[in-house]
């Protein structure tokens, strides 16, 4: 995470006015507005989004986390193939990861079959993709810093010797 306090606040709560940001940072509104505009222009801030509880909206779409093993390309490593994967409309996020696989791809679809078709027809058939393992999201407890089950009581976990 960036060490800039303004970026830290925007990351946690993007829907805040320039004046509120200025007040939080003991700054002035014009300075904050210029900083945010410059970051939007240079690509530091890529966009904003709301974290939405799909159960509250009746959304029945599905999300999957797909582990992808790939063959790195000479002169391009993982970047070229990862960029191709990231450009698919179904892909929400794509990360280079350490461990037993190379890419972690987050995909959304209308139903399980749609995600399965994406994996079998588009992702797995790409040259350089060795294997995939798909894990479907069953329930979300926390996303981008926001807890979903606000009604749950917080209890301490038991500590065992």
Domains of the chain: 5-42 (no CATH), 54-139 (3.30.70.920)
Q: pTM of this prediction? A: 0.80
119: burial class by Cβ within 10 Å (0-12, 13-18, 19+)?
A: buried
Give residue-wise pLDDT tens across range 98-129. 999 999 999 999 999 999 999 999 999 999 99
The angle subtended at Cα 16 by Cα 41 and Cα 27, nearest 5°, is 75
**Is residue 133 within 8 Å of residue 123, measured between CB atoms?**
no
* The two structure tokens encoding residue 95: 């990360």
Give residue-wise pLDDT tens across range 52-77. 888 888 889 999 999 999 999 888 78
pLDDT reading at 142 higher than 70: yes
pLDDT reading at 2 higher than 80: no
């Amino acid at each position: 995470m960036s060490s800039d306090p303004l970026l830290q606040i925007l990351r946690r709560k993007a829907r805040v006015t320039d004046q509120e940001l200025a007040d939080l940072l003991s700054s002035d509104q014009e300075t904050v507005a210029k900083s945010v505009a410059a970051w939007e222009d240079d690509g530091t801030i890529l966009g904003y989004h709301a974290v939405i509880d799909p159960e509250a909206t009746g959304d029945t779409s599905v999300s999957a986390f797909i582990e992808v093993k790939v063959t790195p390309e000479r002169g391009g490593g993982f970047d070229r193939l990862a960029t191709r994967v990231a450009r698919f409309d179904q892909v929400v996020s794509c990360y280079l990861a350490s461990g037993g696989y190379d890419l972690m791809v987050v995909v959304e679809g209308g139903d399980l079959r749609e995600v399965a078709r994406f994996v079998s027809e588009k992702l797995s058939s790409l040259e350089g993709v060795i294997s995939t393992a798909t894990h479907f999201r069953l329930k979300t407890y926390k996303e981008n810093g926001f807890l979903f089950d606000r009604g749950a009581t917080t209890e301490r976990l038991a500590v065992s010797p």
